Amino acid sequence: MSIQVWTYLLIGLSFALYIGIAIRARAGSTKEFYVAGGGVPAVANGMATAADWMSAASFISLAGIISFLGYDASVYLMGWTGGYVLLALCLAPYLRKFGKFTVPDFIGDRYYSQLARTVAVICAIFICFTYIAGQMRGVGVVFSRFLEVEVTWGVIIGGVIVFFYAVLGGMKGITYTQVAQYCVLIFAYMVPAIFISLLMTGNPVPQLGFGSELADGSGVSLLDKLDGLSKELGFTAYTDGKKSTIDVFFITAALMVGTAGLPHVIVRFFTVAKVHDARRSAGWALLFIAILYTTAPAVASFARVNMIETINGTDGAGTLQEESPQWVTNWQETGLIKWEDKNQDGRMFYSGDERNEMKIDRDIMVLANPEIAQLPNWVIALVAAGGIAAALSTSAGLLLVISTSVSHDLLKRNLMPNISDRQELGYARIAAAVALAAASYLGINPPDYVASVVAFAFGLAAASFFPAIILGIFSKRMNKEGAIAGMLTGIIFTAAYIIYFKFVHPELNSAEHWWFGISPEGIGTLGMLLNFVVALVVQRFTAKTPDEIGELVESLRYPKGAGEAHVH
């Protein structure tokens, strides 16, 4: 069967599965819609969290970024996994004990303030919206490459599917579809990785093959070969970085803390029955995420060696264009690989200096990998289905946080406290539909800055929510004045720094202009530190917290009596 037929078949089957699950798990009450009734088993919740967390970016772009950046890309690996340790140890169990639905719920109740709640709602909506626009784009790209339809149709088809199960099923529907999506995406990621690891090193475990000797009988290890090739071609050695140590440190911290502060990740720990389960589901989630995240650097290094050898030839003299393999021609047609024959020798050449004749989009690495390694057609189709599963699961999770923020935090708790459960559910569905339509529009007409605003999402989550939640749990004395002042300082500082370097003066966006050599991607860490400092200072000079807040904080600390997530 051709790739095309396989792709239609696998994507069609996976969609039928997601929709079937959604229909069976339809949400009837706000509690089921928001937190799946608070009764999801820990392992299933861990899997759903992992699928929710691993977006099209993790699935498609992560290995590509590592492939092109080498050691410097470790910030993403450590940053996007290390945050779960913070979540499991410092946030998840306590927020579960708190037992309401959303992050703004916690901020609003703990700091006895509508203002704090409103600040939190605005941040949550902004963060999720930034994120979801990128996801819809990812859906469009996968569709257009593998189904050969217009990106616009790709986004619309994806949007309709997400609408169907997120808006009808709520958190309950989403959780069980995400379990299925995790299985699809991890299978789709591992199959080609294992194939390629076997081909290149003879070791079926990519995580080990990554450090092994090449199977070509040269006796050279993969990473040594890669370091050698990189230096020869004028790149920095693969296992060595270009970024300064302080920048690597700050970016890693911003991503870790940002992960722990992302509302669509935190809300996951409200969906389990007990505090003990909240801890366990964080553990399972990280385990499931780590399977993909430890494979990605292996895939990245295999792909890089493969790519360089295909383009430059094993002798390093360049491959004649007419002899180039099929995958190069395929991707040239999409414009994601470009070749300009600068020295007129008819041979392609890729390097990091003036000899370079190639422009290669790093996002193609995972998608092209099975083609590069000449794997069977069904594997290529499987990768497409996996990419779509990753994009859909993340969009659905984000969509739910946006609709919850609007219907619950903004309407029920702020503007219209008297609406019934049914009405609230209705508003939640309307909000989800509007958010999805807006995100799809951005997916079809992406503004140039979609990629740069991702730094925003993490920076803001790190600089706003994380300190406010940590102080809310671990300090009984933290009052509303301190928390609000801290959050505002963190947000304004971080946003100003990012806007200045990304939008106002992008030409100044280089190490010599940055404060202390910290790039906009890492500035959320400084914003978070400022948030902590301001909050603690302001708290010393303002009123004490009311007694009942002390009791609330006290009750968070002991697991006994977590009960169900309660409706107020």
Interface of this chain with another protein, residues 214 to 273, rule: CB under 8 A: 221-223, 239-240, 245, 248-249, 252-253
Joined tokens for residue 402: 């946006």
Interface of this chain with another protein, residues 66 to 125, rule: CB under 8 A: 66, 71, 74, 77-78, 81-82, 84-85, 88-90, 93
Tell me how far, at minimum, the Cβ of 96 lies from another protein, in Å: 11
Tell me how far, at minimum, the Cβ of 293 lies from another protein, in Å: 6
Size of the site for another protein (CB under 8 A): 51
Nearer to another protein by C-beta: 137 or 274?
274
Nearer to another protein by C-beta: 113 or 239?
239
Distance between first and last Cα of the chain:
56
Tell me how far, at minimum, the Cβ of 80 lies from another protein, in Å: 10
d(CA 556, CA 470): 12
Q: Say if residues 51 and 225 touch (Cβ distance below 8 Å).
A: no
Non-local CB neighbours of 277 within 8 Å, separated by 6+ positions: 41, 42, 45, 96
Distances (CA, A) of 545 to 3, 466, 475, 548: 63, 20, 11, 8
Nearer to another protein by C-beta: 61 or 440?
61
Say whether 337 sits in a helix, a strand or coil.
strand
Joined tokens for residue 352: 């990091």
Closest alpha carbon to 158 in 137, 127, 180: 137
Tell me how far, at minimum, the Cβ of 77 lies from another protein, in Å: 6
Non-local CB neighbours of 20 within 8 Å, separated by 6+ positions: none
User: How much helix, strand and coil, in percent to the nearest 5, is found in the chain?
Assistant: 75, 0, 25
Closest alpha carbon to 384 in 73, 102, 117, 147: 147
DSSP secondary structure of 338-363: EE--TTSSSEE---SSTT--EEE-TT
Nearer to another protein by C-beta: 247 or 481?
247
Helix ranges (DSSP H) in 449-546: 450-463, 465-474, 480-499, 523-540
Tell me how far, at minimum, the Cβ of 557 lies from another protein, in Å: 5
Tell me how far, at minimum, the Cβ of 203 lies from another protein, in Å: 10
Say whether 533 sits in a helix, a strand or coil.
helix
Nearer to another protein by C-beta: 15 or 59?
59
Q: Rounded to the nearest 5°, which phi and psi values hold at 447? A: -70, 155
Tell me how far, at minimum, the Cβ of 261 lies from another protein, in Å: 16
Based on the shown chain and the rule CB under 8 A, indicate whether residue 509 belongs to the binding site for another protein.
Answer: no
Nearer to another protein by C-beta: 240 or 323?
240
Options 210, 466, 501, 532; binder of another protein; rule CB under 8 A: 210
Nearer to another protein by C-beta: 380 or 469?
469
Tell me how far, at minimum, the Cβ of 303 lies from another protein, in Å: 14
Non-local CB neighbours of 434 within 8 Å, separated by 6+ positions: none
Tell me how far, at minimum, the Cβ of 204 lies from another protein, in Å: 16
Nearer to another protein by C-beta: 92 or 141?
92
- How are beta strands 358-360 and 347-348 bridged, if at all? unpaired
Q: Say if residues 124 and 399 touch (Cβ distance below 8 Å).
A: no
Binding track, positions 275-314, relative to another protein; x by CB under 8 A: xx--xx-xx--xx--x--xx--x-----------------
Interface of this chain with another protein, residues 539 to 568, rule: CB under 8 A: 551, 554-555, 557-562
Options 212, 423, 452, 475; binder of another protein; rule CB under 8 A: 212
Joined tokens for residue 502: 């990304």
Q: Say if residues 91 and 473 touch (Cβ distance below 8 Å).
A: yes
Tell me how far, at minimum, the Cβ of 483 lies from another protein, in Å: 21
Binding track, positions 316-345, relative to another protein; x by CB under 8 A: ------------------------------
Options 12, 28, 202, 211; binder of another protein; rule CB under 8 A: 211
- Buried b / exposed e across 33-43, counting CB within 10 Å, b at 16+? bbbbbbbbebb
Tell me how far, at minimum, the Cβ of 39 lies from another protein, in Å: 13
Could you list the residues that contact another protein (CB under 8 A)?
A: 66, 71, 74, 77-78, 81-82, 84-85, 88-90, 93, 207-208, 210-213, 221-223, 239-240, 245, 248-249, 252-253, 274-276, 279-280, 282-283, 286-287, 290, 293-294, 297, 551, 554-555, 557-562
